[in-house]
Amino acid sequence: MQAKLALARRFCENGRPDRKAGAYTLSTSSAPKVNPGNFFEDFRLGQQIRHATPRTVTTGDVALYNGLFGSRFAVQSADTFAKSIGYPRAPVDDLLVFHMVFGKTVPDISLNAVANLGYADCRFLKAVYPGATLTAASEVIGLKENSNRKTGIVYVRSRGFDETGDTVLDYARWVMVRKRDEKAAPPGDHMPELPKAVTPAQLGAACPRIDAAAYDNVLAGSPHRFGDYKAGDEIDHIVGVTVEDAEHMIATRLYQNTARIHFDHFTESKGRFGKRLIYGGHVISLARALSFNGLGNAFHVAAINGGRHVAPLFAGLTVFAWSEVLETASLPGRDDVGALRLRTVATKDRPCADFPLKQGDDSDPAVILDLDYWVLMPK
């Protein structure tokens, strides 16, 4: 499965595969103060990019995120619950942090993207609380021009920081980007080595040592702790949720993600899909919220090993999800929490009682997300 996770290019989450780069060039020349985004030949190996728009995360952001996804993990929902196990207060949902950091990278990295190819080595390194201010930066860690000379793959390591300068999130991403000029010289091939999965020893930095005995299963909504899960467990999360255009646009704007393919029906109605494409991260958040039903004590996403947006999602469709426990692991030196490596698959307009893709079948057209990640659970 890792091979499939490692490189996927089915569709584009923040570019426009079907339009010529020329459209951007034209606009750029007529409006030189407008951000044209970077094209493939603009990236240099080792290049450091500081991204724009710092953002103070507030309880307002948290409330809107809750309204959009309906998350029910008790640690993020209640200050009292979080304090009872050792947090200073309820932390911000990990995926909200991810989306806010990711959003900042879009104007520099993927405005001219054809396809978002993959993530790897994504680690949550420090808990974020309301009041923190997030910034982001990326380093170009790989470049490879495609044989058609029209596009190339850009590998970046992106990091999110809080206002103290501490890294809260670190991940690698690779994306296919158009060239401005097909004749521009190729940069030579530099493919970074990326781990197939984050190791258990790397997990838990964003989770304070918790008082597992004080963790109240009833309040949390699930009697099942780390020890109750084993590799191979399959869980149908049962419930489906339909997505509306207003919802995914509000969410994606909340993250200040500027990829226009999510927002501009006029242009997209003439494009490849005939409609706005939903930000891939929206599906991840929906699947995470659905996964509460069966994984209610998986209170922290500690790392994302890889993931594919297997097919696009559009408004009006209903998302379902199921998960498989790929692996269970202890964290070195910690007896308060354990880690589950999960594969969560999301589908559109297709309930998951029979676990689509379970046998590695890659052809179910209803599957939209195949995510490999680590969560922490109290022991």
Of 334-373, binders to its own copies (CB under 8 A) are 349, 351, 353
Chosen residue from 105, 110, 258, 285 binding its own copies by CB under 8 A = 258
Residue 295: CB minimum distance to its own copies, A: 7
Q: Which of 36/307 has CB closer to its own copies? A: 36
Chosen residue from 3, 183, 193, 218 binding its own copies by CB under 8 A = 218
Q: Which of 66/167 has CB closer to its own copies? A: 66
Of residues 260 through 299, those in contact with its own copies by CB under 8 A are 260, 263-267, 276, 293-296
Check binding of 55 to its own copies (CB under 8 A). yes
* From 116-124, 149-157, 175-183, 214-222, span contacting its own copies (CB under 8 A): 214-222
Check binding of 185 to its own copies (CB under 8 A). no
Whether residue 138 contacts residue 161, with contact meaning beta carbons closer than 8 Å, is answered with: no
Check binding of 232 to its own copies (CB under 8 A). no
* From 120-128, 145-153, 194-202, 215-223, span contacting its own copies (CB under 8 A): 215-223
Of residues 14 through 43, those in contact with its own copies by CB under 8 A are 26-27, 30-31, 33-35
Check binding of 213 to its own copies (CB under 8 A). no
Check binding of 208 to its own copies (CB under 8 A). no
* From 1-9, 142-150, 196-204, 252-260, span contacting its own copies (CB under 8 A): 252-260
* From 166-174, 191-199, 316-324, 328-336, span contacting its own copies (CB under 8 A): 316-324
Check binding of 139 to its own copies (CB under 8 A). no
# binding residues, its own copies (CB under 8 A):
86
